[in-house]
Structure 1
Amino acid sequence: MDTSKLDNPVWFSLSETHRDSALEFDGVKFYKPQYCPFGGFIKMDQTAQSIAEYARDTSNFYVVGDQPKFNSPIILHQELVCNQMVLDKEISIAMDEHIVDLHVDHHDDLLNLVNLVQPGYFKNKTSELGNYYGIYKDSQLVAVTGERMKMNAYTEVSAVVTHPRYTGLGFAKKLVAHTCHQIFLQNKVPYLHVAENNSGAINLYEKLGFKTRRKISFWNLIKPA
Structure 2
Amino acid sequence: MQRNPTLDHIFWHTLNGAHRQWSSGTDTARRYTQGFSPIIAFADPAQPDFAALQPWCAAGEHFYCENWTGAAPPGWRIDAETTMFRMLWDGPLPAADPAPDAVPLRPEHAQQALDLATLCKPGPFGIRTIELGDYFGYFDGERLMAMAGERLRAPGLTEISGVCTHPDDQGRGLARRLIGKLIRRHMLRDERSFLHVMRTNPAHQLYLKMGFKDYLESTVRVVVAE
Q: Flag whether TM exceeds 0.5 (same fold).
A: yes
Percent of pairs with identical residues: 26
Aligned pairs for 1:167-182 within 5 A:
167-182=170-185
Hey, what's the Cα distance between the residues in 2 that align with 1:128 and 1:209? 27
After the TM superposition, list the runs of 4 or more consecutive aligned residues in structure 1 that deviate by more than 3 angstroms. Answer: 91-94
SS of alignment partner, residue 148 of structure 1: strand
1:52 is the counterpart of 2:54: yes
* Greater mean alpha carbon deviation, residues 57-66 or residues 168-177: 57-66
List gaps (5 residues or longer) in structure 1. Answer: none
Hey, what's the Cα distance between the residues in 1 that align with 2:71 and 2:54? 10
Distance 1:4 1:186, change over 3 A: same
* Contact in 2 for aligned 1:74/1:222 (Cα 8 Å): yes
Select which of 147, 155, 161 maps to 1:158: 161
What is the CA deviation profile of residues 9-29 of structure 1, one whole-angstrom value per residue up to 9, with x for unaligned ones? 111012321121121235112
Hey, what's the Cα distance between the residues in 2 that align with 1:101 and 1:26? 34
RMSD: 2.4
Hey, what's the Cα distance between the residues in 1 that align with 2:62 and 2:97? 40
Select which of 108, 118, 121 maps to 2:111: 108
Aligned counterpart, 1:87: 89
Distance 1:42 1:135, change over 3 A: same
Opposite residue 75 of structure 1, the aligned amino acid is R
* Contact in 1 for aligned 2:22/2:32 (Cα 8 Å): yes
How many residue pairs get aligned? The number is 223
List gaps (5 residues or longer) in structure 2. Answer: none
Aligned pairs for 1:93-132 within 5 A:
95=98, 98-118=101-121, 121-132=124-135
1:147 is the counterpart of 2:129: no
Select which of 187, 197, 200 maps to 1:197: 200
Distance 1:157 1:68, change over 3 A: farther
1:209 is the counterpart of 2:208: no
**TM-score, structure 2 normalization:** 0.88
Q: CA deviation at 1:133?
A: 0.4
Aligned counterpart, 1:220: 222
Q: CA deviation at 1:92?
A: 5.7
Opposite residue 85 of structure 2, the aligned amino acid is N
